[in-house]
Amino acid sequence: MKKELLKVKDLKISYFLDSEVKEAVKGVSFTLYEGETIGIIGESGSGKTSIAMSIMGLLTNAKIEGKIIYDGIKFNTLRQKELNRYRWNEVAIVFQNRLDVLNPVLTIREQIEEVLKKHTMKSKGDIKKRVKELFSMVNLEEKWLSSYAHELSGGMRQKVLIAMALSCNPKLLIIDEPTSSLDVLSKREIINLLKSIQKKNNISMLVISHELPVIQELTTKVEVLYLGHILEEGLTRDLINNPMHVYTRGLINSSCDINVYKELWGISPKINLKSGNGCPFYQRCVQASKECTQKLPRLSYISIERKVACNKGGIVTILETKDLSKAFKSHGSKIYACKNVSINVKAGEVAALIGASGSGKTTTAKIISGFLKSDSGSIYFEGKEIHGCEAMRKIHGIQIIFQDPFSAINGDFTVEKAVKEPLEILNIGSEEERKAMVKKALQDVQMPFDNEGLDIRCNTLSGGERQRISIARSLVMKPKLLIADEITSMLDPSTKANILRLLKGLQNEKGFSMLFITHDLPLARKIADKVYVMNRGSIVEEGNALEIFNKPKCQYTKKLFKECFHMTV
């Protein structure tokens, strides 16, 4: 049976800053078993380092509540003198690699010897022997022992810090940002070194890092920390491949190491540190509701190895279609434009529906938006079955932007009339409110929204400008799902790039989900979180965008990518 080595239970850490009390950690619990490696990830200021320092008993200026139990011993009730028996010998920390962590006036040898003198009963000779052993363990040449910290490179200093932490053979190693500010080769060396040390010595590790590839390589389980709360916990590989909390997904989407093709967008930064009694993440959450401002979500199991702190049980599904089919008659035979199409789009997600022209993408979009009736199948929007255009005819519903901005908007309309029309048809808001909504939408799409701008006739606008008006016309309805059907295919490359950046920026800021329909594969690769590949009316492949673009499985997808990306598949 696995043995519990470290148990952190309802840990709360507060700092006293002048007259203010700042809560850095607000009830964190997790268990680390012998030989296990756990990662803690989160934005700066989430409380990662405070947790590490509190386990080491190094937060002398903070109030610590809850329990830190190491091997059955209540660490946070011990006096500093008693703690010294365990520090370095049982639990050691590899501090973040900064020049000031090492003493500038002592040689590296003197600094490692000092740790051994202080925490072991070794003789002078044994200490010298151990220092050499440690240097060989971290692959450093002995000649560097007589150097000073400033004479070493960042990677070498990190190795020295690891050697110091290992000096007394600890069972638990806490590693704070092991590779930050290291070049790519030194990073690789440090990761490999830590992996081999962990394996050889069966050391348990708590790795704190904002670099997801480091966490991916070094840990088996991960805790996702936000403003002192754990918002998600799970097995590292599963959690990174399939995050279930909006915050975790945002962290993953911000990592350029993981998103090698996609444009990077950080989590929308609306943030007020005082979250009151509600969910700490609600101001930045794309699926927040009123309940979230009042109810603090508890970290609870949503599957065997996954816990999420969210009142809605994690990222919700906005759109789900089940077995949509539509056939047309041609020369007496039935041709399926869309056959058993099942897709789902989650809150805040961009799902790309790709495939060659005529594969059934637009038919699917028309059925979802209610412009075309399917022969069979069903559509669910926010968990409720919808029929016809009902989701299009409401605020916070579904909106669609078409390929051709010229036919989508009446050229005789003024800009104001074109954007306001859906509000008028559905009788939403007073005249004054509608005008304010139109102005806001125009501002969002970076079009003039003064009286002169509102009076411009649409037929005097360029294709790119008209497409911006189409986007504004959709945004004015504050959609939860936007269907973008080949919206850049009629635009020149520069306008296309600008429109795409604008739309993705708006999606990131406002948090709507997007079904992005395109035959332009490089474009899909830049924007999609998830991909559906369509051929002859059927979905032939689906999954995480990175996985599909890296390793397509279906022959048809392989053929498409081979043509487009000159991929050898």
288 binds ligand SF4 (CB under 6 A): yes
Considering only 282, 402, 516, 561, the residue that binds ligand SF4 (CB under 6 A) is 282
The contacts of residue 384 (CB under 8 Å, 6+ apart) are none
- Residue 117 or 298: the one with the smaller Cβ distance to ligand SF4 is 298
- Residue 83 or 288: the one with the smaller Cβ distance to ligand SF4 is 288
Considering only 166, 194, 203, 285, the residue that binds ligand SF4 (CB under 6 A) is 285
- Read off the tokens for 6: 């470290």
Site string for ligand SF4, 82-101 (x = CB under 6 A): --------------------
549 binds ligand SF4 (CB under 6 A): no
310 binds ligand SF4 (CB under 6 A): yes
Work out the burial of residue 385: count CB atoms within 10 Å of its CB; fewer than 13 is exposed, 13-18 middle, 19 or more buried: exposed
- Residue 310 or 442: the one with the smaller Cβ distance to ligand SF4 is 310
558 binds ligand SF4 (CB under 6 A): no
Considering only 12, 98, 312, 559, the residue that binds ligand SF4 (CB under 6 A) is 312
Considering only 53, 212, 246, 438, the residue that binds ligand SF4 (CB under 6 A) is 246
Considering only 297, 397, 479, 552, the residue that binds ligand SF4 (CB under 6 A) is 297
Q: Identify the helix (H) or strand (E) that includes residue 340.
A: strand 333-341
**Alpha carbons 92 and 83: distance in angstroms, whole number:** 12
Least distance CB 385 / ligand SF4 (angstroms): 22
- Residue 310 or 476: the one with the smaller Cβ distance to ligand SF4 is 310
Torsion-angle region of 169 (φ positive above 0: left; ψ -120 to 50: alpha; else: beta): left
Q: Candidates 112-120, 182-190, 287-295, 513-521 — which segment interacts with ligand SF4 by CB under 6 A?
A: 287-295
Question: Given the structure tokens 């009042």, which residue do they identify?
Answer: 294
- Read off the tokens for 208: 């704190």
- Residue 285 or 391: the one with the smaller Cβ distance to ligand SF4 is 285
510 binds ligand SF4 (CB under 6 A): no
The β-bridge relationship of strands 350-354 and 513-518 is parallel
Half-sphere exposure of 455 (CA within 13 A, CB side): 3
Type of residue found at 281: F
Q: Annotate 8-62 with three-state secondary structure.
A: EEEEEEEEEECCEEEEEEEEEEEEEECCCEEEEECCCCCCHHHHHHHHCCCCCCE
Least distance CB 288 / ligand SF4 (angstroms): 4
167 binds ligand SF4 (CB under 6 A): no
- Beta-strand ranges (E) seen in 42-184 are 62-70, 73-74, 91-94, 172-176
- Residue 219 or 311: the one with the smaller Cβ distance to ligand SF4 is 311
- Residue 222 or 454: the one with the smaller Cβ distance to ligand SF4 is 222
Q: Please, are residues 73 and 86 in contact by the beta-carbon 8 Å criterion?
A: yes
- Residue 160 or 292: the one with the smaller Cβ distance to ligand SF4 is 292
- Residue 463 or 511: the one with the smaller Cβ distance to ligand SF4 is 511
Considering only 68, 225, 292, 472, the residue that binds ligand SF4 (CB under 6 A) is 292
**Alpha carbons 391 and 398: distance in angstroms, whole number:** 5
- Read off the tokens for 428: 């939403």
Least distance CB 285 / ligand SF4 (angstroms): 3
279 binds ligand SF4 (CB under 6 A): yes
- Residue 315 or 482: the one with the smaller Cβ distance to ligand SF4 is 315
Q: Candidates 32-40, 113-121, 281-289, 476-484 — which segment interacts with ligand SF4 by CB under 6 A?
A: 281-289
401 binds ligand SF4 (CB under 6 A): no
**Alpha carbons 286 and 513: distance in angstroms, whole number:** 9
**Alpha carbons 355 and 317: distance in angstroms, whole number:** 23
Choose among 4, 3, 2, 55: nearest CA to 25: 55
- For ligand SF4, the binding residues (CB under 6 A) are 246, 279, 281-282, 285, 287-288, 292, 297, 310-312
